[in-house]
Amino acid sequence: MITPAHARLNGKVALVTGAAQGIGAAAAAALAAFGADLAICDRQDMSETIALVESQGRRCESATLDVRDAVAVSDWSKQLNSDYPQIDVLVNNAGGGFYAAFLETKAKGQQALVDENFTSVTNFVRAFVPTMATGSSIINVTSIEASRAAPGFGIYAAMKAAVESLTKTLALELAHRQIRVNAIAPDAIPTPGDEGLGDAATQGAREAYDRKIPLGWGTIDDASGSIIFLASDLSRFITGTVLHVDGGSHAASGWSRRDDGTYTP
Can you tell me whether residue 16 is helix, strand or coil? strand
Rg from Cα positions in the chain: 18
Is 84 catalytic? The answer is no
DSSP state of 86: -
Sign of the torsion angle spanned by Cα atoms 228, 18, 70, 196: positive
Query: How much helix, strand and coil, in percent to the nearest 5, is found in the chain?
Result: 50, 20, 35
Report DSSP letters for 129-183, one per residue: GGGEEEEEEEEEE--GGGGS--TT-HHHHHHHHHHHHHHHHHHHHTGGGT-EEEE
Annotated catalytic residue: which of 84, 99, 156, 209? 156
Can you tell me whether residue 243 is helix, strand or coil? strand
Per DSSP bridges, beta strands 132-141 and 180-186 are: parallel
Q: Nearest-CA neighbor of 238 among 179, 173, 186?
A: 179
Q: Any idea how long the chain is? A: 265
Q: Is 55 left (phi over 0), alpha (psi -120 to 50) or beta?
A: alpha
DSSP state of 40: E
Burial status of residue 134 (CB atoms within 10 A of its CB: 0-12, 13-18, 19 or more): exposed
- Give the residue numbers annotated as catalytic, written as ranges: 156
